[in-house]
Amino acid sequence: MIKQSKWVRAHTNIAFIKYWGKENEELILPKNNSLSLTLDAFYTDTQVSFDEDLNKDILFIDGEEQDEKALNKAQVILDLVREEADIHDFARIDSKNHVPTAAGLASSASGLAALAGAASLAAGLDLSKEELSRLARRGSGSASRSIYGGFAEWEKGTSDSNSVAIPIDKADWDIGMLFIIVDDGKKDVSSTEGMRRVVETSPYYEGWISSATEDLAAIKSAIKKQDIVEVGEIAERSALKMHALNLSANPPFNYWSPESIVAMRKVEEFRNQGYSVYLTMDAGPNVKLIGKASQMDELYQALLETFRKEQLVIAKPGPGIQILED
């Protein structure tokens, strides 16, 4: 007998207030709250089938079977669903990543959020958004925020039960993002290793925690006012402080490339020209511009003088998790 879900779609998100460091690595409990914007341009569609004839869990992404390493995070979610639903069958996961070629955008947030939705659906569990957020978090911390559209805050909590994301704002105002993809190669230092090294060795880590709390309160106020300048300034500050932590670790490390600096300089140029545009960067060299959605086409055209078309992607606020109808 096969228990199969409908296709479930989840979009990826970009953190405006970063989390950088885990309180509990097994449960993926963060050291600080974070806040992100879910985007329309990048998403994952996933279907899960529990099948009594399977002798192991299998994962297909874009039609290609994945190795054990890729399956590990997914199995954490599958095992939690099986335990909750009292199911003992192995599962087949089929995922389609709708991410622009060479985007260099980590798809773990959308992928594991979609998996949480599809696996619980196949198992017959009727989970709330909060319960889905908690489940997705166990696969990838950022996936907890992809359950919701617009702005979402991941509350660090104190245990598995209360570390969940909550919706903050629909982002149905003039805000958008533009991605400058400078490199999609494998990182020398993974996010997990980078966080661990910073927490253990940076002399500035306690300052990061206290300032992240202040930044979070300030950006929530700015979002409520729909103040793109204040939102952008705070998000840029959060990103640069995160990367400064990496330089202060022992041994130090850095995710930037020479092209990252070129992209960052373009943001400064745009501001000097009067645009309300700011940058954010995650654990990688790619630069994301935050600004007015109504101005993104102009910025895109200007960036074509420096970057190739395939390096640029415009994104607007996206929806929360969805069950796709046949």
**48-104 residue pLDDT tens:** 999 999 999 999 999 999 999 889 999 999 999 999 999 999 999 999 998 765 455
**Mean pLDDT, rounded, of the chain:** 95
Q: Model confidence over 141-164: pLDDT tens digits?
A: 999 999 999 999 999 999 999 999
Rounded Cα–Cα distance for residues 24 and 43 (Å): 28
Q: Which residue has the higher pLDDT, 225 or 326?
A: 225
Could you tell me where the beta strands, DSSP code E, fall in the chain? 2-4, 8-17, 22-24, 29-30, 34-51, 58-61, 64-65, 90-98, 151-154, 165-169, 176-180, 278-280, 287-291, 312-315, 322-323
pTM of the model: 0.95
Look at 49-53, 65-69, 133-137, 319-323 and tell me which has the smallest mean pLDDT: 65-69
Tokens 């095992």 appear where? 79
Q: Model confidence over 280-315: pLDDT tens digits?
A: 999 989 999 999 999 999 999 999 999 999 999 999
- pLDDT at site 106: 62
DSSP 148: S
- Distances 124 to 7, 83, 118, 152 between C-alpha atoms, Å: 14, 12, 10, 26
Rounded Cα–Cα distance for residues 248 and 263 (Å): 23
Domains of the chain: 2-172 (3.30.230.10), 176-315 (3.30.70.890)
Look at 4-13, 83-92, 106-115, 234-243 and tell me which has the smallest mean pLDDT: 106-115
What is the rounded average pLDDT of the residues 207-221?
97
Q: What is the DSSP string of 172-198?
A: -SS-EEEEE----SPPSS-HHHHHHHH
Rounded Cα–Cα distance for residues 5 and 50 (Å): 9
Q: Which residue has the higher pLDDT, 106 or 55?
A: 55
52 class by beta-carbon count within 10 Å (0-12 exposed, 13-18 middle, 19+ buried) = exposed
Tokens 């947030």 appear where? 109
